[in-house]
């Protein structure tokens, strides 16, 4: 297989794989929620570029002339799509608005530049690319993508970090663990981008095959996790507490007061089984106790050395252990008890259980049964 055949094989295979991945994702998730964005990330910025690479190598010049401005345009949409994907996952009230079209300006600019080139200029550019060097339009496109990479990845990681802090303060561990893979996906993409940029600086023509291979890896990760992790809405703002029922709390620094608040929280949670509510938040518990969210959160952090969601999930996992020890009597199985323990999905239950206990529910149950024998 010579170099031309190698490029054709990589690009054609990547097109087929990406389209199949997008279809699997859409049908598996019934075209709902964030997955439409994920499908766009898979297809829109990638497939037209790969088609252009193939047509150029095969000598389909008429098709290449049409695809040149398109391919140099759509690849600048990847970073905005990754940014909006993060927004859609962590902000349930996110809706596309006219202002979001500003993110498409680089794509529009590249498209207009490509369209402004005459047929002869496009053909000369295509022939020059075949020599292994990049053209002026390719250099402009690369500069735009590099600037986007730095700006958008900084914005994405700052946003996810702030979202994690918000979830830690007002929700449960399940919410973050269910979304944690998004941070890993964005980090994976950032690493792959760096690899691509370094390789491109050494030899520009790696963009004809290396990007495709790395994209397929990243998109496989995206599709798997989009399907494996159920969509869970994340609160964008803490819930409001009825101030008429909540007295003004003073002496926040009082250690004894914080101990009492922790004891009160544990008593209320244990007696009412409030921790079994899948939608339990810091705001709900604070209102039940008639204390401020800030004081409740600080008390748990100071006295128990935990944040709110760690506190709640310890109780949930203890409940799960009790149910695991009586599976035969209850008629449940390991895969079905998560709803009885306050979790909204099976995958979240397994994630939290392993984080708290250090082993899966099945491993813990096997270990418990072994200890009963001895």
Residues of each domain in the chain carrying CATH 1.20.1070: 3-228
3-state secondary structure of 259: helix
Q: Are 160 and 95 in contact (CB under 8 A)?
A: no
DSSP per-residue string spanning 337-350:
-GGGGT-SSHHHHH
The pLDDT score that the predictor gives to residue 175 is 63
Q: What is the pLDDT of residue 7?
A: 87
> How many C-beta atoms surround the C-beta of residue 285 within 10 A?
23
Within 10 A of 59 (CB to CB), how many other CB atoms are there? Answer: 10
What tokens appear for 216 in the block?
Answer: 């397929």
Cβ atoms of residues 349 and 343 within 8 Å: yes
Cβ 274 vs Cβ 280: under 8 Å: yes
Kindly state the DSSP code that residue 98 receives in the 8-state scheme. G
Number of neighbouring beta carbons within 10 Å of residue 220: 14
Cβ density class 9-44: b for 16+ within 10 Å, e for less = ebbeebbebbeebbebbbeebeeebbbebbbbbbbb
The pLDDT of residue 31: 65
Q: What is the pLDDT of residue 206?
A: 82
> Is domain 317-374 annotated with CATH 1.10.10?
yes
**Residues 6+ away with beta carbon under 8 Å from 159:** 86, 87, 90
d(CA 285, CA 54): 59
Mean pLDDT by 10 residues, the chain (374 residues): 85 95 86 74 93 89 93 94 89 80 95 94 88 80 93 94 72 65 91 89 82 93 82 44 39 74 93 88 88 87 85 91 79 78 83 88 88 74
Structure letter (DSSP) for residue 232: -
User: CA-to-CA distance for 214 and 235, rounded, in angstroms?
Assistant: 33
Longest dimension (CA), the chain: 84
Tokens standing for residue 250? 């003073």
Task: Report the 10 Å Cβ neighbour count for 256.
Answer: 8
CA–CA separation, 304 and 316 (whole Å): 16
Tokens 């994702």 correspond to 25
pLDDT value, residue 200: 81
> What fold does the segment set 3-228 form as a domain?
Rhopdopsin 7-helix transmembrane proteins (1.20.1070)
- The confidence score (pLDDT) of residue 332 equals 65
Are 325 and 337 within 8 A, CB to CB? no
The alpha carbon torsion through 334, 340, 341, 342 (nearest 10 deg) reads 130
Asked if residue 171 lies in contact with residue 237, where contact means CB atoms within 8 angstroms, the answer is no
Kindly list the distances between the CA atom of residue 114 and the CA atoms of 20, 117, 132, 139, in Å, as whole numbers in the listed order.
Answer: 30, 6, 20, 13
Return the residue matching tokens 């809405």.
233
Contacts of 67 (CB under 8 A, 6+ apart): 48, 51, 52, 55
Range list for CATH 1.10.10 in the chain: 317-374
**How many angstroms separate the CA atoms of 205 and 215, rounded?**
16
């Amino acid at each position: 297989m010579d170099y031309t055949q190698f490029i054709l094989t990589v690009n054609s295979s990547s097109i087929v794989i990406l389209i199949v991945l997008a279809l699997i994702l859409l049908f598996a998730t019934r075209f709902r929620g964030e997955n439409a964005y994920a499908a766009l990330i898979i297809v829109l910025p990638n497939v037209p570029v790969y088609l252009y690479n193939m047509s150029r190598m095969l000598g389909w010049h008429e098709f290449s002339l049409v695809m040149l401005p398109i391919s140099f345009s759509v690849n600048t949409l990847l970073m905005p799509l990754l940014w909006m994907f993060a927004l859609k996952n962590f902000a349930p009230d996110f809706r596309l608005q006219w202002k979001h079209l500003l993110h498409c300006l680089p794509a529009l600019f590249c498209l207009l530049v490509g369209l402004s080139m005459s047929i002869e200029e496009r053909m000369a550019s295509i022939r020059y690319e075949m020599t292994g060097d990049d053209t002026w339009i390719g250099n402009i496109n690369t500069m735009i993508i590099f600037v986007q990479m730095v700006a958008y990845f900084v914005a994405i990681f700052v946003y996810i970090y702030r979202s994690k802090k918000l979830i830690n303060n007002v929700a449960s561990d399940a919410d973050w663990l269910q979304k944690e893979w998004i941070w890993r996906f964005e980090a994976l993409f950032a690493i792959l981008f760096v690899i691509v940029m370094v390789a491109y600086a050494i030899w520009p023509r790696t963009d004809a095959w290396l990007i495709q291979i790395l994209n397929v890896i990243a998109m496989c990760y995206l599709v798997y996790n989009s399907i494996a992790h159920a969509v869970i809405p994340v609160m964008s703002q803490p819930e409001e507490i009825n101030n008429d029922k909540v007295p003004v709390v003073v002496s926040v620094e009082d250690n004894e007061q914080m101990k009492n608040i922790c004891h009160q929280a544990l008593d209320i949670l244990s007696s009412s089984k409030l921790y079994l509510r899948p939608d339990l938040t810091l705001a709900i518990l604070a209102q039940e106790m008639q204390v401020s969210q800030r004081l409740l959160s600080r008390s748990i952090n100071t006295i128990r050395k935990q944040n709110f969601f760690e506190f709640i999930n310890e109780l949930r996992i203890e409940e799960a252990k009790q149910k695991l020890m009586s599976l035969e009597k209850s008629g449940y199985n390991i895969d079905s008890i998560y709803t009885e323990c306050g979790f909204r999905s099976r995958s979240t239950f397994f994630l939290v259980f392993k984080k708290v206990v250090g082993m899966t529910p099945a491993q813990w149950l096997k270990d418990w049964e072994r200890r009963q024998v001895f």
